[in-house]
Amino acid sequence: MKLSFPAARGRMGKRDYFVAMVKLNLVPKLFKFRDWAELPPEQRAQRVIQKNRIPEITNYILENEDGYLFSSLTASFDCDPNFQPVGDLSDLGILEIPFEADLVINDGQHRRAAIEEALKANPALGDETISVVLFPWEDLDRMQQMFSDLNRTARTTSKSLNILYNHRDLMSQVTLALIERVDEFKGLVDKDRISLPLRSPKLFTLGALYDATSAIVGTVSEPDFDQKRDLAIEFWEAVAANIPEWRKVKADDLKPVEVRQEFIHTHAVVLWAIGAMGQTLMSAHPEDWKDRLKTLRTIDWRRTNKEWQGIAMSGSDVVNRRQSRTDTASFLKLKFGLKLTPSEERSLKGATDATSIMKDLQKLVENVA
């Protein structure tokens, strides 16, 4: 039995190849799953599949059935294909390969696995197509070289750019709305980079504000989009009103580089902590949370403040790890008189190694309790 596909024939690097249009319902049948983990690395033609990635890609397909988008799969075939040109177009035609042909994916095994799972949930997707670039099988060395070449220059886009271009993500839309509505954010948010160059004229990155706003409003859905967008704008306007350095930059009284070098309140770890603390503050004090944000003015945000050591800073470096974020949020909660959970308290105590700081934190805990 043979399978036929509309295809184009080409040549790259002295090798002939084909680009075929393959129906999705044939993808799991043509490209069998291979458990590369059973082999030592030097005998594999591919990386070991990361099964935890498959549900995310599957959900992407199912949640965007009218607009999902995939790049081509790349595979090698170990068979004799039959290419039949159509009319006078010698490089366009029909590609025939045996159904039992051995096809090995060089690039796209996670997409292939996700397509298989999506078809189980919605078999109607089977009539849609994906392009597959097919190269002739040579040997294992060539397969490994193809994998290396296909991934050598691959680069993921920055988180900020993904947020800017993701029109489906409602949290992205909330974040983009607030940076246009909050005066202290206008013109001061880098929408491209994930980190700011030393001399950048910006104060914040889009990715940092996205994460911080997510900590405030949580998941955004269509029914509550307006409410959560407005809450995010209201919150950050109130925060900005209580951080003088942000306002001074907006008024051209301070340069962004000066603020970033001297203070930590524009960094992702602290922005997230402000958001997480703010969510707790609004839950505990729904009537007067905005007035209570004045406590932000009493905090010493300078890098030289030893209170940040072990929490948001290590030596002279601002640290943006998950644990640093949660510990910084816990530290701010104490400053605002908010109770910590036992695990938050243990983690914060473990993060600080200076005896004097520990004593100050203990006093805060006792006062809150």
Q: What is the predicted pLDDT for the residue at 254?
A: 94
Q: What residues are paired with 129 via a beta bridge?
A: 23
* Percentage of residues of the chain with pLDDT beyond 70: 94
Q: What is the predicted pLDDT for the residue at 355?
A: 37
**DSSP summary character for residue 309:** B
The pLDDT tens digits of the residues spanning 92-113 come to 999 998 888 878 888 888 999 9
CA distance 346 to 344: 6
Q: Per the confidence metrics, is the pTM higher than 0.95?
A: no
Q: How much is the average pLDDT of 324-336?
A: 94
Q: How far is CA 179 from CA 82, 83, 203, 247, in A?
A: 57, 55, 12, 14
Q: What is the predicted pLDDT for the residue at 152?
A: 80
Could you tell me which residue, 191 or 34, shows the higher pLDDT? 191
The pLDDT tens digits of the residues spanning 15-29 come to 889 999 999 999 998
- How many alpha carbons fall within 13 Å on the CB side of residue 311? 27
The region that residue 211 occupies, defined by phi over 0 for left and psi between -120 and 50 for alpha, beta otherwise, is: alpha
Q: What is the predicted pLDDT for the residue at 103?
A: 85
Q: What is the predicted pLDDT for the residue at 354?
A: 44
Q: Which stretches of 53-123 are assigned E, i.e. beta strand?
A: 73-78, 82-86, 89-98, 102-107
The pLDDT tens digits of the residues spanning 187-230 come to 999 999 889 998 999 999 999 999 999 999 999 999 999 999 99
Answer whether residue 11 shows pLDDT above 80: yes
Q: How much is the average pLDDT of 81-88?
A: 86
Answer whether residue 369 shows pLDDT above 70: no
